[in-house]
C-alpha cells in the first residue's frame, strides 16, 4: 500500500484539501482512492475585539502555513519523500462574514466572522425587501449594516469576499466562489446558478441615494459550480502556502467552498431528501429540498449544495464550546487529583456517562450560549447551568443535559421544517467531534430529530476531506459524471456506516427537555441583561 501511495505522491496524483474551521485549520492529503494519507492541523481561536468576533490576517496566514507544513512533515515521516506537487487543491472555510478590500487589495476593516450578531437592522430590512430570509451572518447583511452605520470604508470597497474566497484569491489571483459558499453571501437564482439579478437590482436601488462609487455586482466574486476550474496556484501563492519553497506553482484549484458544502460532500448528503448535521463550535442541520419552502422563516437559511440545489439550513451559533469547557474543567480536576487522563479517554468516559442519565436529563438545564444565538433571538450569550432544588443532580444527567442542549437551538429550526413545512427526511448523517464517541451524540441526535442518524467511519474527517473530494472530482470525474454519481461510485462505495434509529423513550425525554429549554430562555435573557 505505502509503495502505491509513495508513487501517487511522487507523480502528483494526490489531492490536498484545507479547511479553516472555527477552532482548527486542517490540511488533508488524499490518495488516488480518495482516502486520507496525510494530515496536519493548527489550532486557533477567534478574538473579541471592539465588540467584533475576528481573526487577524496574520493569524490566517500563520495558521494556513502551519497546517500545510505539518501535513508535509507527515508525508516525509510516513513515506520518506518531500511533497513537491499535488494533482489539485481546494480551500474551504466557515461561511459568511465580511472581508472588504480596497483597489490595492488591502483589508479595509478587520474580518467580521459569521459569529457576529451585529446586523439585525440590515437583516430585517433585506429580508423584507427580497421576501427571502437574509440571516445576520450573511455577507450582504454585513455590507448593508456597514452602509447603514455610515462606516467610512464603504466608499473604498473594490472587492468583498469570504474567508475561503480571500485565501483562494491570494493564492490564485482569481476572485471566485463555489456556488454553495456564494449562496451565503447573496441569494442564488436556482435556474441560472448565479446571484439573483432581481435582488441585485433591488439592492442597487436601495443604496442609490448613498451615491457610492460601485454597484453590488462589481464587488462580488464570480460564482462557479463544483467540477469547474477555479484557476491555478501562482508562484507567489506557492510561496505563501509553503514557506519552504518546495511546492511548485501551476497546480489547479477547485472553487472555494463553505463548511456547509464540504460537510454535505463529506457525508454524501448532496442528493434530495438527504440531510446532515455538522456539530462543532456551531451546529447546523442541512436538508436538500425537493421543492421551495412555502414561506419565509427567519430561523431557516436557504443555501445550496456545491452543485446548486436548494438546501434548508437550521443553524445555531453555539454547540460544543461550553460542553468542551466543562470537559476541560473535569480534566483540570483529574490533574489536581494526580491523574493524567488522556483527553480522548476523558471525553469518551464523560459522554458514555450521559447514556446512564434520566431520559429528560433529570430536570437540569443548560444554555451553552458562548456567543449570541439568532435562533432564539439573543444578540449576546452567557453560558449558563441551572437546576431546581428537586432536580436529579448527578454526573450522568449533567453530561446528558449538556449534550442535549448542544442540539437545542438547532432542533427549534428543524421542528419548523418537519412540522410546518412537512419536509421529508430518509436519514440524517452526522459528522463532527461530538459524534466521535460511538453511540452517544448519534443516539441523542436521533432522539432530537426522531429520525435515523448514520455516522460513517470517516465522520471525524470533516470539511478538509470534503473540499479535497471536490478538488478530486474536478480533475478525476468522467464526462457528464455528476457530483452525486462521483461520490457514490468513487468515494462512498463500501463505506462502513453505523445507523441508529430513535429510541421512543429518548424521543419523549428530549421533547420534555425542549419544553424546559423554551421556558428557561427567560433565565438566559436575565443573565444576558444582568451579567457583564
pLDDT digits (tens, 9 = 90+) for 40-79: 999 999 999 999 999 999 999 999 999 999 999 999 999 9
Averaged over 118-142, what is the pLDDT? Answer: 96
Q: Residue 253 and residue 234: Cα distance in Å, rounded?
A: 11
What is the per-residue pLDDT for 432? 79
Banded model confidence at residue 444, pLDDT cuts 50, 70, 90 = very high
What is the per-residue pLDDT for 497? 87
DSSP code of 416? I
- If DSSP codes are grouped into helix, strand and coil, which group holds residue 279? strand
Banded model confidence at residue 1, pLDDT cuts 50, 70, 90 = very low
Please give the class, per CATH, of domain 259-316+410-501.
alpha beta
Structurally, at CATH architecture level, domain 2-257 sits in: 2-Layer Sandwich (3.30)
In DSSP notation, 354-392 reads HTTS-TT-TT-EEE--SS-BGGGTBSS---EEE--TTS-
Alpha helices in 242-320 (DSSP H): 259-266
Q: Chain centroid to CA 33: how far?
A: 25
Enter the C-alpha cell of residue 313.
439550513
Q: Residue 182 and residue 178: Cα distance in Å, rounded?
A: 6
- If DSSP codes are grouped into helix, strand and coil, which group holds residue 503? coil
Averaged over 3-9, what is the pLDDT? Answer: 88
Domains 2-257 and 259-316+410-501 share a fold: yes
CA distances to 48, 288, 289, 290, 425 from 422, in Å = 39, 13, 11, 11, 10
User: Under a CB-based contact definition with an 8 Å cutoff, are residues 316 and 373 in contact?
Assistant: yes
Percentage of residues in the chain having pLDDT higher than 90:
84
- If DSSP codes are grouped into helix, strand and coil, which group holds residue 230? coil
pLDDT exceeds cutoff 80 at 203: yes
Phi and psi torsions of 235, nearest 5°:
-55, -45
In DSSP notation, 161-223 reads E-HHHHHHHHHHS--EEEHHHHTTTSPEETTTTEE-HHHHHHHHHHHGGG--S--HHHHSPEE
CA-based torsion, 65, 68, 71, 76: positive or negative: negative
pLDDT exceeds cutoff 60 at 142: yes
Mean pLDDT over the full length of the chain = 94
Highest mean pLDDT among 189-193, 230-234, 276-280: 230-234
pLDDT digit string (tens) for 346-375? 999 999 999 999 999 999 999 999 999 989
pLDDT digit string (tens) for 204-227? 999 999 999 999 999 999 999 999
> Which residue, 230, 233, 257, 235, is CA-closest to 164?
257
pLDDT digit string (tens) for 23-38? 999 999 999 999 999 9
**Residue spans per domain, the chain:** 2-257, 259-316+410-501, 321-406+505-530
- If DSSP codes are grouped into helix, strand and coil, which group holds residue 248? coil
Averaged over 439-456, what is the pLDDT? Answer: 93
pTM over 0.85: no
Enter the C-alpha cell of residue 214.
460601485
pLDDT exceeds cutoff 80 at 459: no
Least confident of 63-67, 168-172, 174-178, 491-495: 491-495
Percentage of residues in the chain having pLDDT higher than 70:
99
Banded model confidence at residue 458, pLDDT cuts 50, 70, 90 = low
Number of H helices and number of E strands within the chain? Answer: 19, 22
The residues facing 98 across adjacent strands are 112
Banded model confidence at residue 461, pLDDT cuts 50, 70, 90 = low
What is the per-residue pLDDT for 433? 81
Residues in the chain: 532
pLDDT exceeds cutoff 80 at 267: yes
Q: What is the dihedral of CA 489, 493, 498, 500, to 10 degrees?
A: 50
What is the per-residue pLDDT for 316? 92
> Which residue, 200, 413, 187, is CA-closest to 297?
413
Amino acid at each position: 500500500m505505502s509503495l502505491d501511495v509513495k508513487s501517487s505522491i511522487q507523480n502528483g496524483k494526490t489531492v490536498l484539501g484545507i479547511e479553516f474551521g472555527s477552532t482548527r485549520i486542517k490540511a488533508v492529503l488524499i490518495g488516488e482512492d480518495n482516502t486520507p494519507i496525510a494530515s496536519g492541523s493548527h489550532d486557533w481561536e477567534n478574538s473579541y475585539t471592539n465588540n467584533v468576533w475576528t481573526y487577524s490576517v496574520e493569524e490566517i496566514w500563520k495558521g494556513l502555513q502551519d497546517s500545510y507544513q505539518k501535513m508535509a512533515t507527515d508525508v516525509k515521516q510516513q513515506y520518506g519523500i518531500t511533497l513537491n506537487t499535488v494533482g489539485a487543491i481546494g480551500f474551504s472555510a466557515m461561511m459568511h462574514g465580511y472581508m472588504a478590500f480596497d483597489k490595492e487589495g488591502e483589508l479595509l476593516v478587520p474580518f467580521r466572522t459569521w459569529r457576529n450578531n451585529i446586523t439585525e437592522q440590515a437583516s430585517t430590512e433585506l429580508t423584507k425587501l427580497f421576501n427571502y430570509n437574509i440571516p445576520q451572518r450573511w455577507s450582504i447583511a454585513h455590507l448593508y449594516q456597514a452602509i447603514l452605520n455610515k462606516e467610512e470604508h464603504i466608499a473604498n470597497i473594490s472587492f468583498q469576499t469570504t474567508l475561503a474566497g480571500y485565501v483562494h484569491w491570494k493564492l490564485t489571483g482569481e476572485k471566485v466562489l463555489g456556488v454553495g459558499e456564494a449562496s451565503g453571501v447573496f441569494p442564488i437564482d436556482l435556474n441560472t446558478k448565479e446571484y439573483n439579478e432581481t435582488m441585485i437590482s433591488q439592492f442597487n436601488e436601495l443604496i442609490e441615494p448613498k451615491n457610492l462609487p460601485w454597484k453590488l455586482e462589481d464587488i462580488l466574486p464570480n460564482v462557479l459550480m463544483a467540477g469547474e476550474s477555479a484557476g491555478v496556484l501562482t508562484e507567489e501563492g506557492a510561496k505563501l502556502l509553503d514557506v519552504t519553497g518546495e511546492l511548485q506553482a501551476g497546480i489547479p484549484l477547485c472553487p472555494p467552498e463553505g463548511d456547509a458544502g464540504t460537510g454535505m460532500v463529506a457525508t454524501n448528503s448532496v442528493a434530495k431528501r438527504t440531510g446532515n448535521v455538522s456539530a462543532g463550535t456551531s451546529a447546523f442541520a442541512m436538508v436538500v429540498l425537493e421543492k421551495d419552502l412555502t414561506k419565509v422563516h427567519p430561523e431557516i437559511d436557504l443555501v445550496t449544495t456545491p452543485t446548486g440545489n436548494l438546501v434548508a439550513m437550521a443553524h445555531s451559533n453555539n454547540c460544543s464550546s461550553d460542553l468542551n469547557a466543562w470537559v476541560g474543567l473535569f480534566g483540570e480536576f483529574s490533574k489536581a487529583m494526580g491523574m493524567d487522563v488522556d483527553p480522548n479517554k476523558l471525553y469518551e468516559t464523560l459522554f458514555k456517562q450521559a447514556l446512564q442519565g434520566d431520559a429528560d436529563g433529570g430536570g437540569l438545564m443548560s444554555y451553552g450560549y458562548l456567543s449570541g444565538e439568532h435562533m432564539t433571538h439573543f444578540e449576546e450569550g452567557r453560558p449558563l447551568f441551572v437546576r431546581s432544588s428537586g432536580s436529579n443532580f448527578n454526573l450522568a444527567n449533567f453530561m446528558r443535559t449538556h449534550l442535549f442542549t448542544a442540539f437545542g437551538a438547532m432542533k427549534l429550526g428543524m421542528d419548523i421544517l418537519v412540522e410546518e413545512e412537512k419536509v421529508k427526511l430518509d436519514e440524517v448523517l452526522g459528522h463532527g467531534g461530538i459524534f466521535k464517541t460511538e453511540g452517544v451524540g448519534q443516539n441523542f441526535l436521533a432522539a432530537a430529530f426522531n429520525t435515523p442518524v448514520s455516522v460513517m467511519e470517516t465522520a471525524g474527517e470533516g470539511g478538509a476531506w470534503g473540499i479535497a473530494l471536490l478538488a478530486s472530482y474536478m480533475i478525476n470525474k468522467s464526462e457528464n459524471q455528476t457530483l452525486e454519481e462521483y461520490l457514490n461510485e468513487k468515494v462512498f462505495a463500501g463505506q462502513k456506516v453505523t445507523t441508529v434509529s430513535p429510541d421512543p423513550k429518548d424521543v419523549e425525554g428530549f421533547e420534555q427537555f425542549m419544553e424546559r429549554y423554551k421556558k428557561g430562555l427567560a433565565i438566559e435573557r436575565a443573565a444576558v441583561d444582568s451579567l457583564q
